[in-house]
A and B are shown apart, each in its own frame.
Chain A
Amino acid sequence: MYQYDAYDRALVFERVAQFRDQVERFIAGDLSEEEFLPLRLQNGLYLQKHAYMLRVAIPYGTLSAEQMRTLASIARDYDRGYGHFTTRQNLQFNWIELHQVPDILERLAQVDMHAIQTSGNCVRNITTEAFAGVAADELLDPRPLAEILRQWSTINPEFLFLPRKFKIAICSAREDRAAIMMHDIGLYLYRDDQGEMLLRVMVGGGLGRTPILGLQIREGLPWRHLLSYVEAVLRVYNRHGRRDNKYKARIKILVKALGIDAFSQEVEEEWQYLRDGPAQLTDAEYARVASAFVPPAYASLSDTSLAYGTELADNPGFARWVSRNVMPHKVAGYASVVLSTKPGISAPPGDVSAPQMEAVAEWAERFGFGEIRIAHEQNIVLPDVPKEHLHAVWRLACEHGLGAANIGLLTDIIACPGGDFCALANAKSIPIAQAIQQRFDNLDYLHDLGDISLNISGCINACGHHHIGNIGILGVDKNGSEWYQITLGGAQGKHSSLGKVIGPSFSAAEIPDVIERVISTFVRYRESEERFVDTVQRIGLEPFKEQVYAEQPA
């Protein structure tokens, strides 16, 4: 993974000192609440319902074992012993004291981490997929360009007070596991016939109040122009994006207002001034950064292991876990393991305790190369595990509550913090997730149902990505009480689509029954091994509506 040099390190430490001074001035009353707000947001600090929340960046989802241990130590020393992994490859601490934040940031800086621009109206953490560099279907490793973008966008003085937040994701595999269509800029990296690295650029995607999938503005952009092109997009957006209404301030609204053609023409015009200037990337810089992402020293292993094969045959629980939580690897004899943070009632989706973090760090060192990834589905990935060790990893994961065999299944729920933490919430998310997990606790049945994504957001801001869940649940407010609206048919990846509302909303208590009726409708109409989302697309919403809203026998 990327190794900080003296520049990178100086920047994070100076930033800590700067923020320490700002916190002191705020506490002393020299900075008003209003003046302090964007400063703390750009250092990852939110004010939630009960306490401050600190969002730590995990750039493109990659962590070392040492960094994970540091997160554990912060959870233990400054929080209530756990942290929460988010859908944008960040980690949130929910119970933070303002005056301790500079010390926490300093501890992060010591292991080359920061919370810079994890919030605020600026370019946020650059994300990519959790299997970057190891996925069997990967075309190119997107991480060097992600790191180059991270550096370029960090404290870029012209773009710190944009109309609204700005999220960039990059991916380069056959499957889009980074949800690039849902980002302000989505980048797809590929090679042409001559081997040249090119980018497809999408703009204007986003969820929230106005969910829109990104539109393509550029095909075949040579990689050297990545920074100048993004700069052109940002300058057009900074100058012309709406600032009068925060709900209309994302770039997607500007793109929609101008139309994609007029917007891309503006960008192209701006870009003509920049394209061959000093922002043009050099081979030397690419090589410098890419050298940090060279594959580790993989052993040459046989792709089949006798011990592994025997365990698979003898142990159905293990086999079930392998079928869901183990992903194919580029290198023969290796696999990537997904540790589920969705055990059900024992912990909310994405929550990981300090002892669990430490255990994961230890496994990453013992079985892999000391590297850990965070998936945007809020799970933890061990990217490089020899197949012969999968059984041992599974046993340990189960002992530590990270062994649920449910990746991609109905209980692998993505949920925002919701009303338990978030001041903007209409409704709680976590208890809904747990009630559904409790209702569907039969693993055999879940495995038979196959791939189903279920996403919950506590309000229209859509932090839980409910629009792109096969089943989406949105918290709404009805005369001051908490209700939930259901959407069906959303999907992420290359075939992204936005779910459609099935009808009037439900109370919290009704939700497990409603989901059960949705699922039983699916089972009734499903053809052979069809996936849930395909069934919905084939038969439409009507059969589901009929079943869900039918008079139930008393």
Chain B
Amino acid sequence: MNNLLKLEQGQARLVADDPWVLVRDEVPEGAALILPLASYAPGHGVWLGPDDEVELLQPWLATLPLIALDFPSFRDGRAYSQAYLLRTRMGWRGELRAIGDVLRDQLSHMRQCGFDAFAVRADKSAEDALKGLAGMSVQYGRSVIEPRPLFRRR
């Protein structure tokens, strides 16, 4: 169980049969691995830490099945900007998964920045975290999923 929430056509659901295996440091075996950038192999997913430059993924975007961005701590906000760049500037349309210190109270920010899958921290209830996904009804600024600031919608 990856404790995974996924957005599909705007609907959030708990995913019980997620096939992906997150590989943090041990040598990988098997299929459907999410590999660190340094040991990336074709056919697998990849995850980036906050120090990794997202621009490095450009050549692989056409074939990558999945990209995950790591929150080593929920207080490290770099993955929000990485997600913005992947979605808005680099045109990534595939799954963008938040991994690491992924908690209910930040899920709506992640969603706004373009994440569509959320591997909630293992000791937390994904069902409970679901409540954090919607966030607030008003957003002043712009985001990946609403590129027009409120002043263009008001």
Contacts and interface: CB of A to CB of B under 8 A. Distances in A.
A152 B149 contact: yes
Contacts of A288: 151, 154
B53 to A, nearest CB: 9
A157 B140 contact: no
B121 to A, nearest CB: 10
Interface stretch (B1-9, B30-38, B41-49, B74-82): B74-82
Given A160-B109, A235-B81, A152 B140 contact: yes
Contact of B138 (A14, A121, A158, A239): A14
A284 B143 CA distance: 21
Contacts, number: 104
B136 A15 contact: yes
A412 to B, nearest CB: 36
A445 interface: no
Interface string A265-287: 00000000100011101101100
Interface in B103-150: 103, 105-106, 108-110, 112-113, 136-143, 147-150
A38 interface: yes
Contact of B80 (A15, A35, A155, A161): A161
B140 A279 contact: no
A2 interface: no
Contacts of B139: 155, 157
Given A18-B136, A158-B84, A243 B76 contact: yes
A11 B113 CA distance: 19
Contacts of A160: 77, 80, 109
B112 A157 contact: yes
A157 B110 CA distance: 7
A7 B108 CA distance: 18
A285 B152 CA distance: 8
A277 B84 CA distance: 15
Contacts of A14: 136-138
Looking at chain B's contact residues, the main secondary structure is loop
A11 B142 contact: no
Interface in A231-289: 235, 238-239, 243, 273, 277-279, 281-282, 284-285, 288
A22 B81 contact: no
A238 B78 contact: yes
Contacts of B77: 121, 158-162, 238
Interface string B86-114: 00010000000000000101101110110
Contacts of A227: 141, 149
A10 interface: yes
A161 B113 CA distance: 13
A315 interface: no
B136 A158 contact: no
A11 B140 contact: yes
A14 B103 CA distance: 19
B151 to A, nearest CB: 4
Contact of B89 (A31, A273, A278, A284): A273
Interface in A26-50: 31, 35, 38-39
B147 to A, nearest CB: 5
Contact of B140 (A31, A35, A155): A155
Interface residues of B, number: 33
A480 B47 CA distance: 48
Chain A interface residue number, banded: 35 or more
B151 A281 contact: yes
B136 A154 contact: no
A239 B75 contact: no
Interface in A138-174: 148, 151-162
A158 B113 contact: yes
A225 to B, nearest CB: 13
Contacts of A7: 138, 140, 150, 154
B81 A158 contact: yes
Nearest to B109: A157
A292 B137 CA distance: 24
B80 A157 contact: yes
A279 B112 CA distance: 16
A378 to B, nearest CB: 29
B141 A10 contact: no
A38 B75 contact: yes
A11 B136 contact: yes
Contact of A10 (B137, B148, B154): B137
Given A7-B150, A278-B147, A282-B152, A153 B141 contact: yes
Nearest to A285: B151
A161 B76 contact: yes
A121 B75 contact: yes
Contacts of A277: 147
A159 B112 CA distance: 12
Interface string A491-507: 00000000000000000
B105 A156 contact: no
Contacts of A154: 140-141
Nearest to A36: B105
Most buried by B among A8, A157, A285: A157
Contact of B81 (A5, A8, A121, A238): A238
Interface in A386-436: none
Contacts of B149: 152, 227, 278-279
Nearest to A42: B105
Most buried by A among B81, B82, B109, B154: B81
Given A14-B138, A284-B151, 17 more contacts: A7-B140, A11-B138, A31-B105, A35-B103, A121-B75, A148-B151, A157-B110, A157-B112, A157-B139, A159-B80, A160-B77, A162-B77, A238-B77, A278-B149, A279-B149, A288-B151, A288-B154
18 contacts: A7-B138, A14-B136, A18-B136, A31-B105, A39-B105, A152-B141, A152-B149, A153-B141, A158-B109, A158-B143, A161-B75, A161-B106, A238-B78, A273-B89, A277-B147, A278-B149, A282-B151, A285-B154
The 10 closest A-B pairs by CB, nearest first: A161-B77, A157-B112, A157-B109, A285-B151, A156-B141, A11-B138, A151-B140, A158-B80, A14-B136, A152-B141
